[in-house]
Structure 1
Amino acid sequence: MTDATDLPTRASGVDPKLLEILVCPLTKATLTYDAARQELISKPAKLAYPIRDGIPIMLPDEARPIED
């Protein structure tokens, strides 16, 4: 996984400034960007929020549960 601040806009498809300010809607924790899966990871919530067409979907009902 890569930190959002290390990503150029073209590589991620998402504006890095947006990734810097987004937080988990449940825990308010910072998120980690997973470029391979196009997801934003919330470790405290154990959820992966999808990014579709360059838009982060920050709805808990749309998130995928993850393991540590």
Structure 2
Amino acid sequence: MTSATPLDPELLAILVCPVTRTPLRYDREADELISEAAGLAYPIRDGVPVMLVEEARKLGASR
């Protein structure tokens, strides 16, 4: 489940979690942006991060 386009490092540098406003970690294997502070994983679809809380997966939940 890898995206066709790798995530732009410059984009990752400016994105923050919409809940906590903390930096995100890119999980290449899961193709998600991880917010450790919020306990959420935001999906990346077609190379575009989906930064909506209602689309995020709770960490520890099944993919």
TM-score between both structures, scaled by the size of structure 1: 0.78
Which of 33, 44, 48 pairs up with 1:40? 33
Bigger helix fraction:
1
Cα distance in 2 for residues equivalent to 1:26 and 1:45 = 7
Cα distance in 2 for residues equivalent to 1:25 and 1:42 = 9
Q: What root-mean-square deviation, in Å, do the aligned CA atoms of Structure 1 and Structure 2 show?
A: 1.5
Helix, strand or coil at the partner of 2:54: helix
Larger relative contact order (CA 8 Å, sep ≥ 6): 2
Which of 43, 48, 54 pairs up with 1:61? 54
Q: CA deviation at 1:15?
A: 1.1
Say how many residue pairs are matched.
57
TM-score between both structures, scaled by the size of structure 2: 0.84
Gap regions ≥5 residues in structure 1: 1-11
